[in-house]
């Protein structure tokens, strides 16, 4: 029997996102004011360009993550403002070396070639994690926010000890 589960989560805005938006707006205002002072004839064109650029950059902070589990393949995609989709990682659940509730303090000492935060919150609070070896990224830590249905779909494909450590504690 084939197993296929998808989950879509929206990343919540954090302080970094708000600071980025504030910075873009301030930079846009400065550029428009400078264009009015230095090059008044093209100030309208600069205003239009700044507005478009600010809109594009600000909306690019609106992220969604899609988790899909298909017969043991765990795939995480990043969707940017519903206009662009990018594959973040795809791993076989059999290659997962460790999984559990995310605790930043516990994983701080471990070294990873890449850390991927694909959860609702930037700090990973309330999220899960898994460590796996990827052919392109090397030893990777993935922080994600799966629901119960997604976790249930992943569990049968995990190595026995990893599944026991991840699910029997909680």
Distance (Å, rounded) from C-alpha 102 to C-alpha 141? 10
Q: Residue 142, CB half-sphere, CA atoms under 13 Å: how many?
A: 27
Distance (Å, rounded) from C-alpha 77 to C-alpha 60? 15
Q: What is the pLDDT of residues 112-168, one digit of tens each?
A: 898 999 999 888 788 999 999 888 888 999 999 999 999 999 999 999 998 898 887
Residue 46 has pLDDT above 60, yes or no: yes
Instruction: Please report the pLDDT score of residue 10 as a whole number.
Output: 95
Question: What's the pTM?
Answer: 0.83
How sure is the predictor about 169, in pLDDT bands with cuts at 50, 70 and 90?
A: low
Q: What is the pLDDT of residues 2-40, one digit of tens each?
A: 889 999 999 999 999 999 999 999 999 999 999 999 988
Residue 96 has pLDDT above 80, yes or no: yes
Instruction: Give burial (CB, 10 Å; 0-12/13-18/19+) of 79.
Output: middle
Distance (Å, rounded) from C-alpha 9 to C-alpha 146? 9
């Amino acid at each position: 029997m084939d197993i296929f589960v998808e989950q879509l989560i929206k990343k919540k805005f954090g302080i970094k996102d708000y600071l980025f938006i504030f910075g873009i707006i301030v930079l846009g205002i400065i550029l428009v004011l400078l264009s009015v002072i230095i090059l008044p004839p093209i100030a309208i064109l600069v205003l239009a360009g700044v507005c478009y650029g600010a809109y594009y950059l600000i909306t690019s902070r609106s992220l969604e993550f899609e988790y899909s589990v298909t017969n043991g393949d765990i795939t995480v995609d990043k969707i940017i403002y519903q206009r662009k989709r990018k594959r973040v990682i795809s791993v076989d659940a059999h290659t997962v070396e460790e999984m559990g509730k995310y605790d930043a303090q516990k994983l701080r000492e471990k070294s990873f070639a890449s850390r991927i935060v694909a959860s609702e919150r930037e700090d990973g609070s309330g999220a899960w994690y898994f460590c796996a070896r990827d052919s392109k990224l090397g030893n990777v830590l993935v922080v994600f926010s799966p629901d119960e249905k997604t976790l249930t779909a992943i569990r049968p494909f995990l190595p026995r000890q990893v599944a026991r450590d991840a699910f029997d504690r909680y």
